[in-house]
Amino acid sequence: MIVRLAKHSGFCFGVRRAIQLAIEAADQGTPVFSLGELIHNPQYVLELQEKGIKVANSAAELHNSMVIVRSHGITKQEYMMLEEQGNTIVDATCPYVTKTHNLIRQANADGYPVVILGDALHPEVVGMRSFGNPDTIVVGPEETPPAQNAKRLCVISQTTQKLEHLNNLIRMLLPNVLELKVYNSICIATSLRQSSSACLAQDSDLMIVIGGRQSSNTKMLTKVCAQYCPTIQIETEEELQQLLPQGIERIGLAAGASTPETRILEVYNKILKINGEEDLATSIQNIPLFKEESC
């Protein structure tokens, strides 16, 4: 049996940065709150709690505290409320997400109504929309945009969307407007995770995608891999015993941008143990990476 890890797996730059900023803040000894879970990974959220980083569910409950803004960002109204209530804000919004806020503001200032491609309920998109004006709309990846009266429009994407969906939206909007300004704000970290996982899935008998069930980028990876081979999604190695079919020769591992290295390592070692192997990996660097050139 061979087990290989997709070349681009686990924490992205924005998540790694947010966690580092949160841990540095907690190390100062004062209680620290993240507004919403810092990452979509329940086991890691518990580990962070042990380091002194608690989760608050709304800005309204935070007064005179140290507050971490997670990589998805928050709404303009939440920033204002946190400041008015005397909180110290450690802004760990991913710089790529902050860029979308600035682009939306600028587009509105230049007179362009904004169409956001994304999941309207996702916190990143809720935050993005708050930096727009009442004309700012959100169109989901499989949706048809409403009829447009505007002569010009600006399209900006949630960072985790697929390029294919952005192209579809542009194709639908273009015939009805004179001027269409498009910012490709899709983050390369997401597309790299998807393409390297897809490559590995094409050379595997089973893909195991590791990540939180609420993590949209993990769910997307599962969907991508499932196009090529049987795929299961798990949060921890404990789920593996029941799910791992017998007789599989080539297992591929992929992990979402909010999955810590320790979880990937635990899953890898669990597969080895189920396979009766005793020589376990001590770090993620010991896990063979899939060579994408062969794909």
CB of 2 to ligand SF4, least distance (A): 29
Determine which one of 24, 50, 61, 124 is catalytic: 124
CB of 45 to ligand SF4, least distance (A): 16
Shortest Cβ distance from residue 254 to ligand SF4 (Å)?
15
Catalytic-residue membership of 293: no
- Tell me the residue nearest to ligand SF4 as measured from the CB: 14
Which residue's CB is nearer to ligand SF4, number 136 or number 160?
160
CA angle (33 as vertex; 32, 38 as ends), nearest 5 = 115
For residue 183, the minimal CB distance to ligand SF4 (Å) is 13
Which residue's CB is nearer to ligand SF4, number 139 or number 257? 257
Give the separation between CA 266 and CA 254, rounded to whole angstroms. Answer: 13
Spatial distance between the Cα atoms of 23 and 38, rounded to a whole number of angstroms: 11
Which is nearer to ligand SF4, 94 or 138 (by Cβ)? 94
CB nearer to ligand SF4: give 40 or 270: 40
What are the Cα distances from residue 289, in Å, to 7, 46, 201? Answer: 6, 29, 13
The residues of the shown chain that bind ligand SF4, judged by CB under 6 A, are: 12-15, 71, 94, 96-97, 159-160, 187, 189-190, 257
Q: How far is the CB of 74 from ligand SF4 (least distance, A)?
A: 14
Q: Tell me whether residue 107 or residue 189 sits nearer to ligand SF4 (CB atom).
A: 189
Q: Give the residue numbers marked as catalytic.
A: 124
